[in-house]
Structure 1
Amino acid sequence: MKAVKQSLVQLLGKEYMDAVTAGAALLTDLSAEAAAGIADDVIEFLPDAVMELTNRYLDQVGTSVVPALNAVMNGAPTDAFHKAANRNASPLGGLGFLRLGEDGKLYLTAKSEHYHTSLGHNFPGYKLIDHARALGITNATHNNTRGYITRLLERELIRTANGLGRKEVRELDNILDSREPHVLNRVINLETGTLACEAGIKMMLARFYRLDATFPAPKYEGRTPVFFVMGDHNGGGQANYHGTTIYAQLLRDMWPGMYEKLEQEGALKVCTVTINDINDFRTKLEQFNKPPFKVAGFLHEIILMNYGGIKLEEAFLQQAYSLCHEQDVPIMCDEIQSCMWYPGMYLFKEYGLNPDIVVIGKGFPGGQYPASRVITTAEMDTLNQFGALVTNGQEELAALAYLVTMKFAEENAPYVARMGAYYENKLRELGSKYPDLIERIEGKGHLSTIFFHDADAAIAFTRKMNERCIDISAQTYKANCPPAALTKPPITATKEMFEYLLRKMDEALNTITLWGNTDERSEDG
């Protein structure tokens, strides 16, 4: 892993930090010299000592390392959250891929705390956020006062989304000025992936309906917008997931009574397309891209982490993109799950795709803040300021968390690629060892999942891993999707961590019969 060391001055620029330190000397109890010292303080993002420490504690995962928290605090959850609660695993602290639970045990975060702590817990590089706070950099801004760090981040997102190096300034300026189709050069700052996906859906709807009375007649006014989403193996919509707003939930078979009325009135229609079937995609595009319909857009993830981690094939997506671009169908690539877990930070770049809307979040702020972004084109810049806006979307420290994460990930792209390939290959070797239990390994790199032949086996395997304080989850409730165990280790995971995880998986699989129950063998065989 490549060492990354940065100060605020190096990351944000001297001119800006000179202004910040002048303000700190005025508005805080810091002297000018002390403020300058904080701004110039170089932080090593991930010291070797931290990695050595986490590796050293691997053998203590699942054991009690501190006294348990005995205080009872149930909070005030809804029934659904109360049923799902696991207070033993709730965090007292953590470091890297380790979490310290309230029960005093060490846990292995093999799912990156439900997919968002891309750099693990308490990543040392985020000390720059503490430095910024100490210098009085305010987090709270609003849409009309977007701060310097937020504006710098927007530029960096456009640079990296277009695959440019840091020195390609002229090329970046040309992209920012472009009004050509499919050129990503606009950013909307929001908070959650749900809100970002909703913004993308509204951009598509704006080509059919006026946002308000001041807007001109939309390009496809009077036609029924048809949203293409990934379908499940039963032909329904449970394979796609683009957030929890009503529109996004309509795309995946929720609120069926409401959807039926909207469809009957010609307000909108949802069309599911078969996973990795370009002929089905082409047929449905021909059917719905003519009056009285018009395909409003194609929305997709690349790794369907809410449908067993199935991977969409490059050839399928490339052909689907070509068809959409030919027929004026915008594409939203939802990278909430996959962003930051692959070299270059965006999986769509690795696939050679050119979407009109890219949605990112989760991994970019590394669990420090809720902070999503929509990256889009001049052509899809169809909303006014209040069409996609949240009060806290322009937070400066959230933007700084992005920049820290991006700096580390960009410098360590080879490491991310190497370790992702190592994990996926070793997991495939493990799967081939248990063909009666495991159907196949799905996903890609760190986002790899295990498909079982039998739901009971998937549940038994996940339970055994959880009993060892290894955080993975089973997905056994989706329509006709092979029962799966889901994993997503942080990109800072070491080879030692992967070896430990794989060894514990092997031990768990070795105790499971075809019926998903334990047999009488000991765990060492």
Structure 2
Amino acid sequence: MGSRKTKFRSVKLSLKDLLGKEYIQAVVHARSFLAGDDPRQMKALAEEKVDFYPPAFQQRLLQLLPQVGTVCCPPLKNSAQGGTTDEFRAHSKRALAPVGGLGFYRVGEDGRLFLISKSEHYHVPLGHGFPGYHLINHARTLGIPNATHNNTRGHITRKLEEELIRTAAGISPGDHAALEKTLQSNKNDVLNRVLNLETGSLAAEAAIKMVLARFYRPQADSPQPKYHNRIPVLVVIGDEQGNLQANYHGTTVIAQMQRGMWPDFIEQCEKQKTFLIRCVRPNNLEDLESVFARYEQEKYKIAGFFHELVMMNYGATRLTEKFILRIYALCKKHDVPTIDDEIQSCVWSPQLYMYREYGIQPTFVVVGKGFPGGEYPASRIIFSSTMDTLPQFGALVTNGQEELASLAYLVTIRWAEANAEITSAIGEYYEEQLRVLADHYPTIVHRIEGKRHLAGMYFNDLESGKRFTSYLNNVGLDISVQTYKEGSPPSALTKLPLTAGYEVVDVVIDCMKDALKHMVK
């Protein structure tokens, strides 16, 4: 397959460009005082522009494409055994564990070159060692500390909060009047609050806490909640059989209960009428109407509607526009907060948040993982001021305010915004080529799910999915078939990095085509 050349838009910025002249002056003065460094050298470093994705870097990565799947380095023979749990040990693949990574590649302990076709489980949407993150090294040299606390949130973290609110509202960079108006709004459909947390689980849990705070007091001196005399019902997206297991909103206890874990605990909560958990099947309007008809009356009240847009833990099932718009219409009618969990889809959308493509306005948006680019664990929840009801320690993580993690976010945002049109076109091309493959091999491939880079190839049976991914693993693609969830459709998932251009897409498609040809022999 002949590849068209990918030309990304150049982004070259300095710390001064990103963080502002006055802040940099303050940083230089502080460093000069504390360490005795020459302020002129520090100022020059702060003004040094970094090329976020140099053509030479991209060209080097493309030169390595023919070597994907080959042994390119001596294998690591004596690696550590570790001391993890039995479950983690049983599922560990040490041969694939990294000894090196650059761009969309990882060198495993077995010495082979792998294409990170799952972006290291969403951690690195811009690939390993993204050159734009060199600004973090500059910040360290200037003495900008990473560690701080909630009461001393730094300039970079506060600037990021503004950027998240700006981008969530679709405000153009530099439109300070529109940003200020958004920050001051008290409307339910305006996202103008940010909580800085460390993992997606904690960000999703913050949403759970805030919706339950409309039924239960967070602490003894809290005012009586609006729905104190109703039983809260948490609604999630279930699987095709009507079970809870399909969704994934983190690993805290209630979030795990939302996907069917802790069944005895769920039963006791229901018996005591503490709260209920109910699900609707993906894109099933009948289920949707039914859950509102049943629980928006008498003693019950839907506390919140939790959803993803592409369910990457359920075969990349994509929720349709018709289904999502009906959810939001019903939630608006019945005063039900909506929680859009974009831990797995943020950054991959050309508008940074996929909900903007649907034309909806969630009450909460959970983001993270991809934004800091694998440099730091850092999640955020962006939400409406009308839900700003928790006490200071209601949803707090000391490490959530890390300045350099916030800087990583800002770098990612700048490159992703500048290249949104290009990366979107590449993603659409990838999805189109996957659908062509599915049409050519209907006896093996059932259908394609997902959106652009976030894709799932559904198979007619589980054994075909296993054979397909085994073949691709052998030729150097990091890809897997979902087998760990009962009732999950047999599907192979990919999440290509945004920095993977047409050349990489064509290699992936060619490998998939070879796998399917091999399977029909």
Q: TM-score range by the shorter chain?
A: over 0.9
* Match for residue 209 of structure 2 among 202, 213, 223: 202
d(CA) in 1 for partners of 2:130, 2:114: 17
In the TM superposition, what is the alpha-carbon distance from 1:70 to its structure 2 partner? Answer: 2.0
SS in 2 for 1:386: coil
> 2:443 aligns to what?
436
* Match for residue 136 of structure 2 among 129, 150, 153: 129
- Note if 1:324 corresponds to 2:331: yes
> 1:492 aligns to what?
499
Q: Contact between 2:46 and 2:138, CA under 8 Å: does it hold in 1? A: yes
* Match for residue 156 of structure 1 among 159, 163, 176: 163
> 2:96 aligns to what?
89
Q: Contact between 1:278 and 1:316, CA under 8 Å: does it hold in 2? A: yes
- Note if 1:473 corresponds to 2:483: no
Q: Contact between 1:89 and 1:101, CA under 8 Å: does it hold in 2? A: yes
In the TM superposition, what is the alpha-carbon distance from 1:30 to its structure 2 partner? Answer: 2.4
- What do residues 336-361 of structure 1 show as CA deviations (whole Å, max 9, x unaligned)? 00000010110001111100000000
In the TM superposition, what is the alpha-carbon distance from 1:155 to its structure 2 partner? Answer: 0.2
> 1:37 aligns to what?
44
- Note if 1:276 corresponds to 2:270: no
Unaligned runs of 5+ in 1: 514-518, 520-525
d(CA) in 1 for partners of 2:357, 2:240: 26
Mean Cα displacement is larger for which, 280-289 or 333-342? 280-289
d(CA) in 2 for partners of 1:473, 1:29: 53
- What amino acid is aligned across from residue 179 of structure 1 in structure 2? N
Q: Contact between 1:24 and 1:136, CA under 8 Å: does it hold in 2? A: yes
d(CA) in 2 for partners of 1:275, 1:79: 33
> 1:48 aligns to what?
55
- What amino acid is aligned across from residue 429 of structure 1 in structure 2? V
> 2:119 aligns to what?
112
> 1:363 aligns to what?
370
SS in 1 for 2:30: helix
d(CA) in 2 for partners of 1:474, 1:322: 35
> 1:523 aligns to what?
none
- Note if 1:375 corresponds to 2:382: yes
- Note if 1:216 corresponds to 2:203: no
Q: Contact between 2:241 and 2:281, CA under 8 Å: does it hold in 1? A: no
* Match for residue 85 of structure 2 among 65, 70, 78: 78
d(CA) in 1 for partners of 2:64, 2:403: 35
In the TM superposition, what is the alpha-carbon distance from 1:86 to its structure 2 partner? Answer: 1.5
SS in 1 for 2:443: coil
Distance change (3 Å), C-alpha of 1:29 and 1:505: farther
> 1:9 aligns to what?
16
Q: Contact between 2:243 and 2:279, CA under 8 Å: does it hold in 1? A: yes
SS in 2 for 1:67: coil
In the TM superposition, what is the alpha-carbon distance from 1:168 to its structure 2 partner? Answer: 1.5
> 2:76 aligns to what?
69
- What amino acid is aligned across from residue 286 of structure 1 in structure 2? A
> 1:511 aligns to what?
518
d(CA) in 2 for partners of 1:385, 1:491: 37
d(CA) in 2 for partners of 1:446, 1:29: 48
* Match for residue 165 of structure 1 among 165, 172, 184: 172
SS in 2 for 1:510: helix
- What amino acid is aligned across from residue 220 of structure 2 in structure 1? A
Q: Contact between 1:182 and 1:356, CA under 8 Å: does it hold in 2? A: yes
In the TM superposition, what is the alpha-carbon distance from 1:139 to its structure 2 partner? Answer: 0.3
In the TM superposition, what is the alpha-carbon distance from 1:213 to its structure 2 partner? Answer: 0.3
Q: Contact between 2:315 and 2:488, CA under 8 Å: does it hold in 1? A: yes
* Match for residue 295 of structure 1 among 288, 299, 302: 302
Mean Cα displacement is larger for which, 463-472 or 403-412? 463-472
> 2:245 aligns to what?
238
d(CA) in 2 for partners of 1:120, 1:484: 24
- What amino acid is aligned across from residue 436 of structure 1 in structure 2? T
d(CA) in 2 for partners of 1:361, 1:36: 31
In the TM superposition, what is the alpha-carbon distance from 1:57 to its structure 2 partner? Answer: 0.4
d(CA) in 2 for partners of 1:386, 1:40: 38
- What amino acid is aligned across from residue 161 of structure 1 in structure 2? A
* Match for residue 459 of structure 1 among 462, 466, 479: 466
Q: Contact between 2:244 and 2:260, CA under 8 Å: does it hold in 1? A: yes
d(CA) in 2 for partners of 1:95, 1:494: 15
> 1:350 aligns to what?
357
Q: How many residues align?
A: 514
In the TM superposition, what is the alpha-carbon distance from 1:322 to its structure 2 partner? Answer: 1.1
In the TM superposition, what is the alpha-carbon distance from 1:477 to its structure 2 partner? Answer: 4.1
d(CA) in 1 for partners of 2:428, 2:364: 28
Mean Cα displacement is larger for which, 14-23 or 271-280? 271-280
- What amino acid is aligned across from residue 223 of structure 1 in structure 2? R
In the TM superposition, what is the alpha-carbon distance from 1:93 to its structure 2 partner? Answer: 1.4
> 2:320 aligns to what?
313
SS in 1 for 2:387: coil
Identity of aligned residues (%): 50
In the TM superposition, what is the alpha-carbon distance from 1:182 to its structure 2 partner? Answer: 1.4
Mean Cα displacement is larger for which, 246-255 or 282-291? 282-291
In the TM superposition, what is the alpha-carbon distance from 1:278 to its structure 2 partner? Answer: 2.3
Q: Contact between 1:225 and 1:268, CA under 8 Å: does it hold in 2? A: yes
d(CA) in 1 for partners of 2:35, 2:76: 37
- What amino acid is aligned across from residue 375 of structure 1 in structure 2? I
Q: Contact between 2:480 and 2:492, CA under 8 Å: does it hold in 1? A: yes
In the TM superposition, what is the alpha-carbon distance from 1:29 to its structure 2 partner? Answer: 4.7
Q: Contact between 2:217 and 2:223, CA under 8 Å: does it hold in 1? A: yes
Unaligned runs of 5+ in 2: 1-7
> 1:339 aligns to what?
346
> 1:425 aligns to what?
432
d(CA) in 1 for partners of 2:349, 2:102: 22
SS in 1 for 2:289: helix
- Note if 1:254 corresponds to 2:261: yes
- What amino acid is aligned across from residue 414 of structure 1 in structure 2? E
Q: Contact between 1:439 and 1:452, CA under 8 Å: does it hold in 2? A: yes
- Note if 1:390 corresponds to 2:431: no
> 1:516 aligns to what?
none
In the TM superposition, what is the alpha-carbon distance from 1:437 to its structure 2 partner? Answer: 0.2
Q: Contact between 1:228 and 1:270, CA under 8 Å: does it hold in 2? A: yes
In the TM superposition, what is the alpha-carbon distance from 1:292 to its structure 2 partner? Answer: 1.1
SS in 1 for 2:504: helix
Tell me the TM-score normalized by structure 2: 0.97
SS in 2 for 1:426: helix
Distance change (3 Å), C-alpha of 1:18 and 1:512: same
> 1:522 aligns to what?
none
Tell me the TM-score normalized by structure 1: 0.97
In the TM superposition, what is the alpha-carbon distance from 1:481 to its structure 2 partner? Answer: 3.3
d(CA) in 2 for partners of 1:58, 1:40: 35
Mean Cα displacement is larger for which, 143-152 or 374-383? 374-383
- What do residues 272-313 of structure 1 show as CA deviations (whole Å, max 9, x unaligned)? 112112232122102101121100010000000000000000
